[in-house]
């Protein structure tokens, strides 16, 4: 994976920007710990399929990123937490060297989860210290990149753990208290666009991934997009949510979905969004007969 971070207009070495980066670093890392909090060590160890990774691997790999790409080149007197982790938690970065096979990640029972957390804490202390002392713009930009990388893995951690739990016949739940953050239902509506020649791609000075640039012109056919993404309020209406038995039929789930997410009466037919071909979400909804 390759990322690009454009030159910021402001000097990242300014004290205010360093402080802001340190706060964001601590916030993202704290969010990773929060996401892992409902999981047992056994949950974190298991790998449900070759395309998924154990939660413990995600937790270790995001720390690996900061140790390998930030501390190793920029920390004075750098010493790895454990030299063997360099290959063990390398995903696909050929420039770093050896990688452990993804489909066997669930077999790596050592280090245990406690040691991965100790590594996590130690690297946090060292990165925060580096943020306050380094004169290297590259180091600060790599830390920014590492935070976006970690947020990608937060999504992957949830995706993979939900798949793991989904195949357990006991129907365990990831988190009984849901949603994790307050979510206000947004009445769903479609935003129609006429199409034509437009510009797409990253615009501005902020961080972007390489697949968001270069900005370029693109011909767009007339289309419509929904005004909001898939939210937990919609997920809450799924028959299998919370690990319980699906309700008889799908009528209750459909009514709950309509009420929570559109604010419309369940008696009012909910038109299937005018998308042809349908989005994956739309197909998913329709297969459950929530759209008429």
State the minimum distance, in angstroms, from the CB of residue 2 to Fe ion: 12
User: Toward Fe ion, which CB reaches closer, 18 or 86?
Assistant: 86
State the minimum distance, in angstroms, from the CB of residue 56 to Fe ion: 14
Burial (Cβ within 10 Å: 0-12, 13-18, ≥19) of residue 156: middle
User: Toward Fe ion, which CB reaches closer, 209 or 284?
Assistant: 209
State the minimum distance, in angstroms, from the CB of residue 237 to Fe ion: 32
Q: Say whether 213 sits in a helix, a strand or coil.
A: coil
Bridge pairing between strands 208-209 and 190-193: unpaired
Burial (Cβ within 10 Å: 0-12, 13-18, ≥19) of residue 177: exposed
CA-to-CA dists, residue 197 to 168, 193, 219, 252, angstroms? 49, 12, 5, 44
User: Toward Fe ion, which CB reaches closer, 57 or 81?
Assistant: 57
User: Toward Fe ion, which CB reaches closer, 1 or 137?
Assistant: 1
User: Toward Fe ion, which CB reaches closer, 1 or 242?
Assistant: 1
User: Angle formed by the axes of helices 137-166 and 15-36, to 10°?
Assistant: 10
User: Toward Fe ion, which CB reaches closer, 148 or 241?
Assistant: 148
What φ, ψ does residue 198 adopt, rounded to 5°?
-140, 170
State the minimum distance, in angstroms, from the CB of residue 157 to Fe ion: 11
Could you list the residues that contact Fe ion (CB under 5 A)? 91
Question: Which of 131, 118, 109 is closest to 22 using CA atoms?
Answer: 131
Place of tokens 């919370």: 242
Q: Say whether 208 sits in a helix, a strand or coil.
A: strand
Q: Are the C-beta atoms of 234 and 261 separated by less than 8 Å? A: yes
State the minimum distance, in angstroms, from the CB of residue 111 to Fe ion: 18
State the minimum distance, in angstroms, from the CB of residue 149 to Fe ion: 6
What is the Cα Rg of the chain in Å?
22
173: left (phi over 0), alpha (psi -120 to 50) or beta: beta
User: Toward Fe ion, which CB reaches closer, 70 or 258?
Assistant: 70
Give the residue nearest to Fe ion (CB). 91
State the minimum distance, in angstroms, from the CB of residue 156 to Fe ion: 8
């Amino acid at each position: 994976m390759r990322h690009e971070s454009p030159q910021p207009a402001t000097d990242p070495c300014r004290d205010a920007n360093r402080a802001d980066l340190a706060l964001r670093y601590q916030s993202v890392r704290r969010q990773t710990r929060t996401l892992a909090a409902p999981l047992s060590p056994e949950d974190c160890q298991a790998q449900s399929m070759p395309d998924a990774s154990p939660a413990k691997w995600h937790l270790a790999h995001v720390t690996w990123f900061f140790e390998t790409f930030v501390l190793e080149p920029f920390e004075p007197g750098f010493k790895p937490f454990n030299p063997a982790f360099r290959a063990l938690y390398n995903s696909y970065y050929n420039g770093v060297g050896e990688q452990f096979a993804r489909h066997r990640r669930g077999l790596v029972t050592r280090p245990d989860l406690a040691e991965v957390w100790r590594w996590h804490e130690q690297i946090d202390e060292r990165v925060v210290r580096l943020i306050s002392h380094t004169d290297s713009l590259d180091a600060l930009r790599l830390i920014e990149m590492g935070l976006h990388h970690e947020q990608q893995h937060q999504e992957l951690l949830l995706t993979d753990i939900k798949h793991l739990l989904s195949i357990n016949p006991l129907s365990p739940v990831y988190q009984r208290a849901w949603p994790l953050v307050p979510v206000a239902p947004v009445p769903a509506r479609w935003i129609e666009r006429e199409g034509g020649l437009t510009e797409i791609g990253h615009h501005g000075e902020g961080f972007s991934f390489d697949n968001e640039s270069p900005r370029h012109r693109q011909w767009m056919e007339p289309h419509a997009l929904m005004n909001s993404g898939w939210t937990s309020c919609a997920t809450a209406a799924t028959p299998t949510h919370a690990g319980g038995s699906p309700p008889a039929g799908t009528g209750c789930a459909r009514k709950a979905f309509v009420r929570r997410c559109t604010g419309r009466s369940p008696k009012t037919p909910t038109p299937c969004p005018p998308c042809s071909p349908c989005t994956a979400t739309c197909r998913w909804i329709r297969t459950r007969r929530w759209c008429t």
